[in-house]
Structure 1
Amino acid sequence: MNLFDKTIAAVSPNRALKRIEARKKLKLLNQGYGDHGANTRKKSMLGWFAKSGSVLEDIEHNIPKLRERSRDLYMGAPLATGALKTIRTNVVGSGLKLNSQIDYEYLGMTLEEADAWETTVEREFNLWAESVHCDAQRMNNFYELQQLAFLGQLMSGDSFALLPVIPRPNIPYDIRVQIIESDRVCTPDKKKFNTDNKIINGVEVNFRGEVVAYHIAQNHPNSISLKRNDWTRVKKFGANTGRPNVIHLMESERPEQRRGVPILAPVIESLKQLARYSEAELMAAVVSGMYTVFIKSENPQNEQPGQYFDEYDDQIEEDDTNYELGNGAIVALGENESIQDSNPGRPNQAFDGFVTAICRQIGSALEVPYELLLKHFTASYSASRAALLEAWKMFRMRRSWLASDFCQPIYEEFLAEAVAKGRINAPGFFTDPVARKAYCTAEWNGPSQGQIDPLKEVKAAAQRVNEGFSTRTRETVELGNGDFFRNTRLRMVEERLRQEGGLIPNENSTLEEEPEPGGGEEGK
């Protein structure tokens, strides 16, 4: 009761009692989040200070620091390196392969004509994609560029690709893919202090919030160079053709976000602390393994037993002021010198359990089960399969996103060049938008999920096909990333060769075989 209520109580106790009763009712009427997550009276919530800002304050201003720390973890923390490479390997693998699937019904083709057209396009695309000439730097083919772009997006938050036209000899296509470092897309020095917020982290928007251009530095902004840095403004789409000039590969967390956040951002602190803890435990275990005997001599004139007795004795210079631990070393001390033994108690028996518990939390944030994160499968078949299925939900989502935001736009530009140069016959490609969409429809197949128990997986796939829940084409891709139609044609050739070689009976041959010489009961 405060002073005012005490004064009222002295004059009118009934009114004071009603005030206290009304105050209690107000507390009871505190409903919804106000009594839970938004409560400011509970002791557990009193020390929780959180401030909500716009995307600019919460994300954009923090991206450079997040990017630096994410890269440092990738280069120095094994768990962070393994997490990014695990996602990269399962999503991209050796590369997402083109599987043209045109809408032949709209285009007025038969199924046989569509299959022949798709085969021609895939052959032409492989001519370009499997060569390093598709790379503006002539270092990677298209499938390796997928790995580079995706890993850069995971590590730095986003990745950029330009589509310049560079003619080169002995290659019929001129379109190239140029992957650039995400740091190079930044705000020019002259426009960093503008208050209109039209250029944030190198991304320029108009009054509607639409991204219209990117500002790309000629040199890395953090590189050591005396050369003056210049910026080039590149429009996102061509003004006349609408052709994409820049492919921005990023994952958005909030509306109006312009740059991506590294996937390790929520677990940066946990990964760094875990790396420090692992290094400390490793050093303690190494020190514990070096059992060293210190001898105190009463007569300093006596010959010392020797500084080091190991295989590197002739390589170490003696230093009377420096003592080091060695494998089974005997270190002699001078007069009035002593040593206090220290037992680190390593290896720590609780190390593995603690690391596993932290890895569970990190894996949950990255959508990678800790079994897959640590490559340690010790649970039952059902538990291991459930973990893999949960991980593959994320892998498929990211694969679909990579295919639609990176592979498909590049393929459409390649196909437009192939049609313009007459290497691919596609009537109506440049005049009918629906026809162009029908020609460009494609699937992008990556590495298969793999099986814990192949026999069970194959039986389940066969059952799904028999019940009509799936197709042989889809199951062939899921189980082994193969092509059902090509497999069928190859099997026809194989079975014919086996029949001709007599390994299996021909349909026209008789079922009864002639008895071998010496056969029967008499020949035994």
Structure 2
Amino acid sequence: MNALDRVIAAVSPQTAVKRAAARRKLDILDSGYGNYGASHTKKSLAGWLYGGGSAKEDIQDNLSTLRQRCRDLYMGVPLATGALKTCRTNVIGSGLRLKSQIDYEALGMDEEAARDLERKIEREFSLWADSTACDLERLDNFYELQQLAFLNWLMSGDVIATLPVTKRANMPYDLRICLIEADRLSNPNGIVDPHIIGGVETNDAGEVVAYHISKHHPLSYDMTETGWTRVEAWGAKTGRRNVLHIMNRERIGQRRGVPFLAPVIEALKQLGRYTDAELVAAVVSGMFTVFIEKESASSDGGFGEIIPEDAQVDAGDDSTIELAPGAIVDLNEGEKAHDMNPGRPNTAFDGFVVAICRQIGAALEIPYELLVKNFNASYSASRGALLEAWKMFRMYRTWLANDFCQPVYEEWFAEAVAKGRIPAPGFFSDPLIRKAYTGAEWNGPAQGLLNPVQEVTAAEKRVQNGFSTRDREAMEMNGSDFYRNAAQLKREEKMLREVKENGENGNAAGKTEE
């Protein structure tokens, strides 16, 4: 206690105690993180306006604005459009394809019988998945629905898929997929209920039990049909999955997904505005017009009137002046022209845009080179960028396969077994047997090869040392199937032998005749 505190303590002990307590609090604040990121005294942090809440306050209460802004960026900012389509193309491509992987050991089957059953399963699934009949709207096949669902997840943060059953001619399977845009999942009539957040209903334990889906789109002007449908997440008797909620959580307690572009909305919008301004400035620079000053009054028309009416783009706007390439406009008496150099194109434009794109790419886990499709660096740098990007692509591919493709496949498989189109004894009686039959891999587009010779050699060594398999390497390199490749090679080798044998027999017959 210093001298001042001792004097205060003698006069007012209570005040002295408060001063001592306050000093102790400051000591606590100025320790550990209090000296750095949590400091309340540093000038560099004093003006930081911060605040936070639970996942509901931070995410759910801002979702409507985030969704609409992300969609607007997708529709109007080229870099945002490119980022989403780059993810869509590399993660999904033409679609994640089924490769059945039966656990034949758990089922007591021999390997050859399991391979035959896997081929039958894949043929039956193709019958359903390759047809638009799998779509409730009958517009897309299963692989196109994957593209649509993933792109909508990128823009909106989550996607809802229901699995209704509808009979259709010439299609033995009745399972259908109905994709629903994120906005339609909402609280009925905007009610405030702690158990219903963003249309997702939970019980007291926090388990999701139902989804409230609006019959109309809340942003649509067409309000002819209003109301909400409560869809249970799981069938009460069968345990069937009624709703697939495709989302990627980033907070505990989060019930709705965040759009992919949410962290970089401001940067993308400002970059889009800057790009538009530079583009307009460059166009105006290209339209630079010469003004001539005369001593006597001019009888020529005023600004813009020299341009033919059919060439004017905004003649009805009095606030603009029409310019044209190479136009010469007279000035009236007493008027002077001042030459103006707009300095376009801006030499600093490219460097600034590159710097911002690198930050955006870092936030989205898309390397700058891939974000702008510009590979001017060395082979090692380009390969490193692609490898980093593919870590993210594979993560999202696995996530979508687990949350969308596999659940749909399991529902389809159950229908196929129930209708006797696929033999699977014990499928409905034992969950372990069900899991063994529905094992699968979902393979998408291959990464591609920057240096084919080196990468093929590396693949050979991985197989030789047991680090990988021929099947996996075939899928990684060009998205093909090793077993089908081997069967095709067998047929080609047989055909080549027959051609050679026929050629040799023909030559031998010719020599005999001679």
Under a length normalisation based on structure 2, what TM-score does the superposition of the two structures give? Answer: 0.90
**Displacement after TM superposition at 1:373 (Å):** 0.2
Find the partner of 2:486 among 485, 488, 502. Answer: 488
Change (3 A) 1:316 1:398: closer
Change (3 A) 1:274 1:6: farther
Aligned to 1:197: 194
1:381-405 CA distance string (max 9 Å, x none): 1111111000100000000000010
Kept in 2, the 8 Å contact 1:88–1:150? The answer is yes
**Displacement after TM superposition at 1:25 (Å):** 13
Which letter maps to 1:57? E
Aligned to 2:291: 294
Residues in 2 aligned to 1:250 and 1:63: alpha-carbon distance in whole angstroms: 13
1:248 alignment partner, SS class: strand
| Residue 287 of structure 2 is aligned to residue 277 of structure 1 | no
Q: Which moved more, 1:69-78 or 1:285-294?
A: 285-294
Find the partner of 1:336 among 317, 334, 337. Answer: 334
RMSD after superposition: 3.1
Aligned to 1:144: 144
Residues in 1 aligned to 2:488 and 2:248: alpha-carbon distance in whole angstroms: 41
| Residue 53 of structure 2 is aligned to residue 53 of structure 1 | yes
Aligned to 1:521: none
Which letter maps to 2:293? K
Change (3 A) 1:295 1:458: same
**Displacement after TM superposition at 1:49 (Å):** 2.9
**Displacement after TM superposition at 1:172 (Å):** 0.2
Residues in 2 aligned to 1:306 and 1:367: alpha-carbon distance in whole angstroms: 51
Residues in 2 aligned to 1:187 and 1:251: alpha-carbon distance in whole angstroms: 20
Kept in 2, the 8 Å contact 1:173–1:417? The answer is yes
1:191-230 CA distance string (max 9 Å, x none): x343x41111111111111111111111111111242511
Aligned to 2:221: 224
**Displacement after TM superposition at 1:308 (Å):** 7.5
Find the partner of 2:407 among 409, 414, 427. Answer: 409
Which letter maps to 1:96? L
Change (3 A) 1:384 1:28: same
1:394 alignment partner, SS class: helix
Aligned to 1:367: 365
Change (3 A) 1:364 1:316: closer
**Displacement after TM superposition at 1:52 (Å):** 2.5
| Residue 31 of structure 2 is aligned to residue 64 of structure 1 | no
Kept in 2, the 8 Å contact 1:291–1:326? The answer is yes
Kept in 2, the 8 Å contact 1:134–1:141? The answer is yes
Kept in 1, the 8 Å contact 2:70–2:155? The answer is yes
Kept in 1, the 8 Å contact 2:446–2:475? The answer is yes
1:29-428 equivalence runs, <5 A: 30-189=30-189, 192-194=190-192, 196-300=193-297, 302=299, 315-316=311-312, 323-428=321-426
**Displacement after TM superposition at 1:24 (Å):** 11
Kept in 2, the 8 Å contact 1:166–1:175? The answer is yes
Kept in 2, the 8 Å contact 1:163–1:246? The answer is yes
Find the partner of 2:450 among 432, 452, 461. Answer: 452
1:32-60 CA distance string (max 9 Å, x none): 21211111111111112322211111111
1:502 alignment partner, SS class: helix
1:212 alignment partner, SS class: strand
Residues in 1 aligned to 2:141 and 2:316: alpha-carbon distance in whole angstroms: 56
1:436-470 CA distance string (max 9 Å, x none): 00000000000000011111111111111122211
Aligned to 2:498: 500
**Displacement after TM superposition at 1:297 (Å):** 3.5
1:346 alignment partner, SS class: coil
**Displacement after TM superposition at 1:290 (Å):** 1.6
Kept in 2, the 8 Å contact 1:323–1:331? The answer is no
**Displacement after TM superposition at 1:2 (Å):** 11
2:329 alignment partner, SS class: strand
Residues in 1 aligned to 2:303 and 2:231: alpha-carbon distance in whole angstroms: 70
Residues in 1 aligned to 2:248 and 2:211: alpha-carbon distance in whole angstroms: 17
1:347 alignment partner, SS class: coil
Kept in 2, the 8 Å contact 1:159–1:182? The answer is yes
The aligned length equals 500
Residues in 1 aligned to 2:469 and 2:250: alpha-carbon distance in whole angstroms: 36
Change (3 A) 1:70 1:32: same
Which letter maps to 2:94? S
Change (3 A) 1:111 1:221: same
Residues in 2 aligned to 1:246 and 1:277: alpha-carbon distance in whole angstroms: 43
**Displacement after TM superposition at 1:26 (Å):** 7.4
Aligned to 1:522: none
**Displacement after TM superposition at 1:247 (Å):** 0.4
2:400 alignment partner, SS class: helix
Under a length normalisation based on structure 1, what TM-score does the superposition of the two structures give? Answer: 0.89
Kept in 2, the 8 Å contact 1:308–1:329? The answer is no
Residues in 1 aligned to 2:407 and 2:323: alpha-carbon distance in whole angstroms: 60
Structure 1 unpaired stretches of 5+: 518-524
1:501 alignment partner, SS class: helix
Kept in 2, the 8 Å contact 1:203–1:215? The answer is yes
**Displacement after TM superposition at 1:295 (Å):** 1.9
**Displacement after TM superposition at 1:315 (Å):** 4.3
1:340-386 CA distance string (max 9 Å, x none): 33222111111111111111110011000010000000111111111
Which letter maps to 1:408? Q
Kept in 1, the 8 Å contact 2:29–2:35? The answer is no
**Displacement after TM superposition at 1:28 (Å):** 9.8
Change (3 A) 1:43 1:330: same
**Displacement after TM superposition at 1:339 (Å):** 3.2
Change (3 A) 1:459 1:256: same
Residues in 2 aligned to 1:2 and 1:51: alpha-carbon distance in whole angstroms: 37
1:159 alignment partner, SS class: strand
2:500 alignment partner, SS class: coil
Which letter maps to 1:109? M
1:102 alignment partner, SS class: coil
Change (3 A) 1:113 1:43: same
Which letter maps to 2:212? H
**Displacement after TM superposition at 1:320 (Å):** 13
Which letter maps to 1:401? W
